[in-house]
Structure 1
């Protein structure tokens, strides 16, 4: 009953005219970001982070959430019509969706993607509503040793999951931790690693790092390495599904939601695994003519399943973000920065200290799903026209907006130099496959982890055994070791399995 009453209060806040407007603008921008190839939600949220200096915290987070899940809806349009996934989550959708488009069934593919996203997003939002407060109630009982180990878990999972190489992920994390140390020491008040530059005494603004690594680096990388690409677009058809296509899509949506939701709840995954897993399940379960459509003319289950799994994962990813402060993707890492920009730290205390904000945000997920269904079904032909915008002009606009927004925070020329320096570093990181999200996570959680470690050692009177004296902290150490070691053990065991050889008769 408490959850129901809290959700009703959340709807009361989210349904105010101002918050509805911000939710709508976020959904529109998110859909546009998803449709435009090469621009992901992380870039959009990073570029718009400077608005947190002027906009109310609840409205701002509803706005960012609209961009976050709106981009997941819009991403299917690019994948289906252009065979150009804007995010890794849309790669599987492109496999069957583009084949459907080439065979004159683009409308059916877009319809099952939009409706599947709505179904999965709504079910996943119910899961967030029911289980996030329970997780928060449990986590609020933790002490400094457990908080520190939770942050170590966040470091480990983000570094190991995001990117192709764990070593590169750890290197990015260490860079973020180093940047987080710049400024005044929290206890002694001594300046650390400022190089005598007064502007660095307060530390480096997380907004500058996010905008530089995501927005500026994205534009510069495009200009340097991708500017010569030529895109071709498949023709649109009427957005509707036949009765047979509905019959094939509904079970795929439900199965995919069941697959995707758990991957979002655990702070050790992403959207790639559940979308590929959903595709494999649908292909395995298909029979007869339906099975023959996979990889040839395009099977509608191969679009319905991965899109639903994607949205279920993305929505339930808010559980570890809100209750533990652990992001599992680039975009949730930027959202963590947005919270911190308001002086709010997502974690176990969030449902107590900022209950109105949290429940308004959860309520906005229900509202946003309805808005996005309306925006993506009847108006899909309008979104397709965005694909006609020339990329050079589009990216130039992003660069100008990001630069003006960063300068507007403190009107500091030093901030601009820092922004562009970080942007160039982001280009190098992307060029050599170093993930950027661990840098942001390290910057945000590094100082907090340092404070919790000091508190834990104070409790243990300087002894490190304080981290192995409580059952919960031991459990977290086991989970951290599992995240680091299990994938390597499985990979090594897999490489040692002998291949069967033919037996002569």
Structure 2
């Protein structure tokens, strides 16, 4: 390995590669910030451009777009409560309250630095632990993926600990929506009501645009505010965020980055699950979990460090096994195959120069993201000084264009509108749109892996329960799910003890005084 790292670092200082990293990052951040234009779309659109380059330069540019787009989704999540990519859904939970409080720069800088940290941690795992982690990923089959999705779904209990009934109802509504279309196990249409375009199901991205973007437009217009939010630039904001991340968020950042890396290397999981699980764990282990959702940087840090660590994780099985861990990794895999490069463990020896240059470029891309991200964030905060009417029109136009571009279908435009009103009225009655989005995202994965478990039980002649419980990983995930479900009750118990002055951590004289 060491004989390749020196030349790989040398390739990064070539003018063409520096230009490609800067251009890829800038374009990726812009694409990620626009609702509907996902990282997958941005990378896929640029694959043909790599045919005119050598394989190394092409991979460097695609990797830069990937990293930039995943981070870019946090900009719109913080500024207009619209996740630019599905993996930024959890970022809206605290990023948007920060913006409403006039601290948009704190939210943007936190998301930037957390994204950089998560990206670097994911790349470290890719560089040093690719082989053992790839073998670990191979142990995940239908039962393990099923329980991972259930564990992700159980975070609704923590997300909605203030009103669990409404949270569970919101999640159930999301799961119901995810069943529209063709049954993945028997191939029978469901809930299409004779309307043929619904056979293709409810696409996740238009649903997210409707729930978070279009509904936000309705909310902002109904508020009669002249601008989206008041913006009060904080002097020394960068230093404040660095101090907070290094001081009280370092454990949170590391935990979230590791979760993101591990989830990222599992095919089909993705940044949505990683960011929400990390947000849940950050809230679970915080001394004052009730702060989450009110605008704390810990929530933004957990989400963004996790979804950017997914990048390195998703590249681990792609490079070592030829199994992409995400849709973007699948596109990059296609670009590799088009260049005549077969992924596998031999890629680190036979084409070691290419593999290690690509990996080292991810370190460089994440470091370059700091100055480029700060510059673009400063430009994007100008959005807060534009009249709300113009911003609302722009959001609606981008939402319609972005949703239509996914499948070239008017159905997706109608989905945006319908889910926009659904999200707006759900928020008015206290339902949790985040829990609803989680149900829509995880529903198809749960159903698909449940079908695999049923088929495995039939093929082995055993019971479904045996299939669910035969793996140590599955049992571990079951235990984590039960702990996640019990967390709201533990938090409520802890809150009541603190309110009555009975907290065991409180000095005796304080308890007596209370």
The change in CA–CA distance for 1:25 and 1:226 in structure 2 (over 3 A counts) is: farther
Structure-2 separation of matches of 1:253 and 1:65: 22
Q: Does the Cα contact within 8 Å between 1:132 and 1:319 map onto a contact in 2? A: no
Shift of the alpha carbon at 1:364? 6.4
Per the normalisation by structure 2, the TM-score is 0.63
- Corresponding residue for residue 202 of structure 1: 200
Structure-2 separation of matches of 1:240 and 1:386: 20
Q: Does the Cα contact within 8 Å between 1:257 and 1:308 map onto a contact in 2? A: no
- Corresponding residue for residue 254 of structure 2: 261
The change in CA–CA distance for 1:53 and 1:408 in structure 2 (over 3 A counts) is: farther
Q: Does the Cα contact within 8 Å between 2:63 and 2:362 map onto a contact in 1? A: no
- Corresponding residue for residue 223 of structure 1: 221
Structure-2 separation of matches of 1:115 and 1:254: 17
CA RMSD of the aligned region, Å? 5.5
Structure-2 separation of matches of 1:168 and 1:400: 32
Instruction: Encode CA deviations 1:183-220: one digit per residue, 9 max, x unaligned.
Output: 22334332222211111222222332232223222222
The change in CA–CA distance for 1:114 and 1:196 in structure 2 (over 3 A counts) is: closer
Instruction: Encode CA deviations 1:426-480: one digit per residue, 9 max, x unaligned.
Output: 2223332412431332344244233323233324536133122333322222121
Structure-1 separation of matches of 2:451 and 2:368: 42
- Corresponding residue for residue 190 of structure 2: 192
Shift of the alpha carbon at 1:401? 1.7
- Corresponding residue for residue 393 of structure 1: 390
- Corresponding residue for residue 441 of structure 1: 441
Equivalent residue for 1:416, pick from 413, 426, 431? 413
- Corresponding residue for residue 469 of structure 1: 470
The change in CA–CA distance for 1:341 and 1:401 in structure 2 (over 3 A counts) is: farther
The change in CA–CA distance for 1:23 and 1:220 in structure 2 (over 3 A counts) is: same
Q: Does the Cα contact within 8 Å between 1:176 and 1:443 map onto a contact in 2? A: yes
Q: Does the Cα contact within 8 Å between 2:192 and 2:199 map onto a contact in 1? A: yes
The change in CA–CA distance for 1:368 and 1:138 in structure 2 (over 3 A counts) is: same
The change in CA–CA distance for 1:190 and 1:55 in structure 2 (over 3 A counts) is: same
- Corresponding residue for residue 150 of structure 1: 148
Shift of the alpha carbon at 1:399? 0.7
The change in CA–CA distance for 1:439 and 1:377 in structure 2 (over 3 A counts) is: closer
Instruction: Encode CA deviations 1:107-149: one digit per residue, 9 max, x unaligned.
Output: xx89996996587456534555356764443131233322322
User: Secondary structure at the residue paired with 2:249?
Assistant: helix
Structure-2 separation of matches of 1:458 and 1:390: 61
Q: How many pairs were matched up?
A: 432
Shift of the alpha carbon at 1:420? 1.1
- Corresponding residue for residue 485 of structure 1: 486
User: Secondary structure at the residue paired with 1:201?
Assistant: helix
Identify unmatched segments of 5+ residues in structure 2. Answer: 48-58, 81-90, 260-273, 289-295, 318-324, 335-342, 349-353, 503-509
Structure-2 separation of matches of 1:503 and 1:398: 55
- Corresponding residue for residue 425 of structure 1: 422
User: Secondary structure at the residue paired with 2:501?
Assistant: coil
Q: Does the Cα contact within 8 Å between 1:183 and 1:191 map onto a contact in 2? A: yes
Shift of the alpha carbon at 1:259? 3.6
Identify unmatched segments of 5+ residues in structure 1. Answer: 34-43, 79-85, 281-302, 325-334, 345-350
Shift of the alpha carbon at 1:74? 9.5
Q: 2:42 aligned with 1:22, yes or no?
A: no
User: Secondary structure at the residue paired with 1:407?
Assistant: helix
Structure-2 separation of matches of 1:128 and 1:76: 29
- Corresponding residue for residue 177 of structure 1: 175
Q: Does the Cα contact within 8 Å between 2:183 and 2:189 map onto a contact in 1? A: yes
Which shows bigger deviation, 464-473 or 363-372? Answer: 363-372
Structure-2 separation of matches of 1:275 and 1:493: 14
Q: Does the Cα contact within 8 Å between 1:135 and 1:323 map onto a contact in 2? A: yes
Shift of the alpha carbon at 1:249? 5.9
Shift of the alpha carbon at 1:72? 5.5
Structure-2 separation of matches of 1:478 and 1:377: 41
- Corresponding residue for residue 404 of structure 2: 407
Per the normalisation by structure 1, the TM-score is 0.64
Shift of the alpha carbon at 1:339? 7.7
Structure-1 separation of matches of 2:441 and 2:280: 20
